[in-house]
A and B are shown apart, each in its own frame.
Chain A
Amino acid sequence: MDWHLLFLAMHLIGTVLGVGAATFAEIFIMKSLRDGTIDQVEGSFLNVTYRVIRIGLMLLLISGFGFLINLRLTGMEERLMSPLLWSKLSIVVLILINAVLLQTRKIPLILGSAISFASWYAAMLIIPLRTAIFGAKAGYVEIMLGYGVLVIAGMVILALIKKLLKVS
């Protein structure tokens, strides 16, 4: 059995589900909040969307750690210390913390969903963005700074869209 191929397929499906559902969560929130409240039907759509995000995240975690085991067992342990890997792990931890803050309402829905939205895109685009902006040898701090800029840019863009759509 080709484990690498299996984990790659799981990783891609997880990314598609996670990024897709995070995008639709944002669209549903914008659409729902146009009248200032989230009614029962809108809430049920959001619940399903968040469930899909969790499924995507679980697939990503299992396949991601599958890759790590594969690296360990094929003698490529040095790649386990790469800044890129640790940046991805950090972003996943931030997505998990953001979900808890959203659940406990310690963060406004609009801000939390924007962070989730931008983080998912950052996790997906981290490899091409790192190469394009910093070159292939960027360190952990540079990558995380780039991620921070992407999150802020995402939040500003979403805030502008919400202002245009007059979302309260």
Chain B
Amino acid sequence: MKNIFRTLGIFATLALPLSVFAQAIIDVPVPGKNFIILLAAHVMLGLVGVAGLYAATLALLKKHVPILSLRISSVTALVSLVASWITGGIYYVQYYGGTLKPVILAGQNPIAHKFFMEAKEHLFLFLPFVALVLATTSLCVSDLIIRNARVRHILAGIAGVGVLIGVFTTLSGVIISGAL
């Protein structure tokens, strides 16, 4: 119990500065035409992040949890998803919103923005925090994960939901780009 409260404390301490930091960076102006790099980085980092969540899910579903690979995959997911959040945020605020959104809304598939982008941009925000839960628990209470099957199953469920959200946001991104 003490370990769980300790982990929740670390999670709460990290979650707020993380979101403030990400939002602050998003407003920094991008010089030149670096939006191409931002888009590519957003997609690739997001993909690595979802792969990390998927690897963490598989690790948590094993009878003997490989703690080292769980830590590596969850920390990789956390770092990649935060970086994807920042690059995607800058791309949206400084380029997509003003230049591409009107084109999609006036095109043949406005649903790509009205539904898929609206859903994606909100659902995506869960992902760094799902990864943060996995990273803090695997780093701070790994003994509990190894001993307690119930904790393992709950974490596997959280990671699995993260993968589902990740797959949805990834496929939504393809639909949004396809609507241009």
For the side of the interface on A, what is the size category?
20 to 34
Interface size on B, residues (CB 8 A): 24
Return the contact of B51 from the options A61, A79, A93, A100 (Cβ within 8 A). A61
Contact with B along A76-96 (1 / 0, CB 8 A): 011111000100010001001
Residues of A within 8 A of B44 (CB): 62, 65-66, 69
A159 within 8 A of B: no
Return the contact of A80 from the options B39, B47, B51, B177 (Cβ within 8 A). B177
Residues B177 and A103 in contact, CB atoms below 8 Å apart: no
A72 within 8 A of B: yes
A99 within 8 A of B: yes
A123 within 8 A of B: no
Interface set, chain B 31-51, CB cutoff 8 A to A: 36, 39-40, 43-44, 47-48, 51
A-B contacts, CB under 8 A, total: 54
Residues B178 and A81 in contact, CB atoms below 8 Å apart: yes
A58 within 8 A of B: yes
Return the contact of B178 from the options A66, A73, A77 (Cβ within 8 A). A77
Q: Which residues of chain A have a CB within 8 Å of any CB of chain B?
A: 54, 58, 61-62, 65-66, 68-69, 71-73, 77-81, 85, 89, 93, 96, 99-100, 103-104
- Bound CA–CA A62/B48 (angstroms): 8
Return the contact of A93 from the options B43, B167, B174 (Cβ within 8 A). B167
Q: Could you show 25 A-B contacts with beta carbons less than 8 Å apart?
A: A58-B51, A61-B51, A62-B44, A62-B47, A65-B44, A68-B43, A68-B174, A68-B177, A69-B40, A69-B43, A69-B44, A72-B180, A73-B39, A77-B180, A80-B174, A80-B175, A80-B177, A85-B174, A89-B171, A93-B167, A96-B163, A96-B167, A100-B58, A100-B61, A103-B61
